[in-house]
Amino acid sequence: MVTPRIVIVGGGAGGLELATRLGRNLGQQGKARIILVDACLTHIWKPLLHEVAAGTINSYEDELNYFAHASQNHFEFQLGRFEGVDRDEKTITLAPLCDSHGKPLASARHLNYDWLVMAIGSTSNDFGTEGAREHCIFLDSRAQADRFQSEFLNMYLRAHAYTDRHDNPPELNIAIVGAGATGVELAAELHHAAHQFAEYGLDGISPSHVNISLIEAADRILPILPEGTSTAARQKLESLGIKVFTRQKITQISQDGLQASSGLFVPASLKVWSAGIKAPDFMKDLSGLETNHINQLITQPTLQTTRDPHIFAMGDCGSCTLPGSSRPVPPRAQTAHQQASYLLKALPRHIAGKPVADFRFQDKGSLVSLNSSAVGVLMGSIAVQGKLARIMYISLYRLHQVAIHGFFKTAVLFCKDILSSKSRPEIKLH
């Protein structure tokens, strides 16, 4: 009997968790060959990217190497950028592999699959806004977050080296488009980082001269949360001196700042776009599979794509509307986690030709970090905020670590983080 091949494209939270758990289950027992594909060598939990951008965590200390992790968890890793799928031949194509200087390392490759899981995630949706791609940084990857952190730090280094800084203290204007979880969390984290820079002697730019603006097109920030929680978050941000603008649709972005349809102009030297998501553009023409207006693959309640039962879509790149609901399940980290747990049980049943129940989503709420505190709602109605909410927020990352490392290694990593926090700066200075 030929061992079935399960290929998972995308090593984000959901894809990595699924590959790890399938490897420990089917892979270790020789019941299936599990192959994870990603364009990067390392993984970092995407909800941490706002902290990477602000420099409040070091991305190199919190990353996971796919090759090492795969060897420990009985699955294979293939480095490469997904380029397409041939549904008739049941193969996927990976683009030629190049080094950091563009020198070819390997030609385009083809991988066979029996079952294909698309877990490729999402990118920011700029809605075609003029100047967004040219002048904004998008926090879709660690590389982009590292770029922002580098530019943020360089501004402080330039100001620190300026001999007449006390006579004419410079200002740093930062604008964030989109007041969802990422935008709100980044604004709070940057405020904290500005004060940390001053504490470490980089006082060329005073924290009082760091102007952070958060711009949202909707009538309130954090529109996915109840109005009371949204209001509490806005009050907290404004108490920190962060400017919050709502009902402001950005129509044009230039080197000097952002223009809204209302006439508002927000000056900014550093600009971040965090408004809306979409699946990568190549998904809309992916081998005739059905997609929606933001390129997500349409799936059945079993997460199988509507036009090919051997291809699944999970996480942000899939759109699944469950029976009795008029809206797809939300594109959140908890959705990817629950879908990974579902496919862990469903895929062996598909391989065995057994019937499979529909995916069920349980909304356990949402938490948004405000650096030293947090706000959110649990189980749809229980509002939480403050330090308790912050502890719960941190626990989400630890649960992700448990899913991919197990309890013992997560406990070791937790102890390592506590010990190293006592000996390293609170902000990345290089």
HEC letters along 195-224 = HHHHHCCCCCCCHHHEEEEEECCCCCCCCC
Question: Phi-psi category of 421—alpha, beta or left, where left has phi over 0 and alpha has psi -120 to 50?
Answer: alpha
State the number of CA atoms in the 13 A half-sphere of 103 facing the CB. Answer: 3
Position 421 scores a pLDDT of: 73
Please check the confidence at residue 100 and state whether its pLDDT lies above 90: no
Q: Are 407 and 389 in contact (CB under 8 A)?
A: no
pLDDT band with cut points at 50, 70 and 90 for residue 170:
confident
Tens digits of per-residue pLDDT, 195-246? 999 888 887 788 988 999 999 999 999 998 889 889 999 999 999 999 999 9
Taking each helix axis as running N to C, give the angle between helix 387-405 and helix 333-352, from 0 to 180 degrees, rounded to the nearest 10: 30
Please check the confidence at residue 168 and state whether its pLDDT lies above 80: no
What span, in angstroms and rounded, lies between the C-alpha atoms of 103 and 99?
5
Average pLDDT value for the chain: 92
Position 166 scores a pLDDT of: 56
Please check the confidence at residue 290 and state whether its pLDDT lies above 70: yes
Taking each helix axis as running N to C, give the angle between helix 181-199 and helix 227-239, from 0 to 180 degrees, rounded to the nearest 10: 20
Please check the confidence at residue 6 and state whether its pLDDT lies above 90: yes
Position 281 scores a pLDDT of: 92
Position 163 scores a pLDDT of: 55
What span, in angstroms and rounded, lies between the C-alpha atoms of 34 and 28?
10
Neighbours of 416 (CB within 10 A): 11
Please check the confidence at residue 167 and state whether its pLDDT lies above 70: no
Position 233 scores a pLDDT of: 93
The length of the chain is 430
Token pair 């962060």: residue: 242
**Per-residue pLDDT averaged across 191-195, rounded?**
93
**Structure tokens, 93:** 């194509």
What span, in angstroms and rounded, lies between the C-alpha atoms of 430 and 428?
6
What Cα–Cα distance (Å) separates residue 154 from each residue in 54, 149, 159, 210? 12, 8, 9, 14
Tens digits of per-residue pLDDT, 343-371? 999 999 999 999 999 999 998 888 999 98
At 289, phi and psi to the nearest 5?
-75, 150
Please check the confidence at residue 178 and state whether its pLDDT lies above 60: yes
pLDDT band with cut points at 50, 70 and 90 for residue 1:
low
At 245, phi and psi to the nearest 5?
-115, 125
Specify the pairing of strand 115-118 against strand 308-313: parallel
Domains of the chain: 5-122+279-363 (3.50.50.60), 132-275 (3.50.50.60), 366-421 (no CATH)
What span, in angstroms and rounded, lies between the C-alpha atoms of 55 and 63?
14
Q: Are 191 and 213 in contact (CB under 8 A)?
A: no
Tens digits of per-residue pLDDT, 39-98? 999 999 999 999 999 998 887 877 899 999 999 999 999 999 999 999 999 999 999 998
Neighbours of 186 (CB within 10 A): 26
Of all residues in the chain, the percent with pLDDT exceeding 90 is 71
Q: Are 36 and 77 in contact (CB under 8 A)?
A: yes
Position 203 scores a pLDDT of: 77
Tens digits of per-residue pLDDT, 114-124? 999 999 999 99
Position 181 scores a pLDDT of: 92
- In 3D, which of 250, 268, 233, 271 has the Cα closest to residue 393? 233
What Cα–Cα distance (Å) separates residue 2 from each residue in 5, 44, 202, 351? 9, 34, 62, 12
Position 265 scores a pLDDT of: 97
Please check the confidence at residue 398 and state whether its pLDDT lies above 70: yes
**Structure tokens, 380:** 């749809």
**Structure tokens, 169:** 């203290």
Position 158 scores a pLDDT of: 85
What span, in angstroms and rounded, lies between the C-alpha atoms of 81 and 313?
17
* pTM score: 0.93
**Structure tokens, 299:** 């799936």
- In 3D, which of 418, 419, 364 has the Cα closest to residue 393? 364
Position 161 scores a pLDDT of: 80
Position 77 scores a pLDDT of: 98
- In 3D, which of 367, 366, 342, 327 has the Cα closest to residue 119? 342
Token pair 């907290």: residue: 236
pLDDT band with cut points at 50, 70 and 90 for residue 165:
low
Position 119 scores a pLDDT of: 97
What span, in angstroms and rounded, lies between the C-alpha atoms of 270 and 175?
6
What span, in angstroms and rounded, lies between the C-alpha atoms of 237 and 220?
13
What span, in angstroms and rounded, lies between the C-alpha atoms of 361 and 337?
10
- In 3D, which of 190, 171, 177 has the Cα closest to residue 237? 190
DSSP secondary structure of 168-191: S---EEEEEE--SHHHHHHHHHHH
Tens digits of per-residue pLDDT, 312-322? 999 999 999 99
Please check the confidence at residue 383 and state whether its pLDDT lies above 90: no
At 51, phi and psi to the nearest 5?
-75, -35
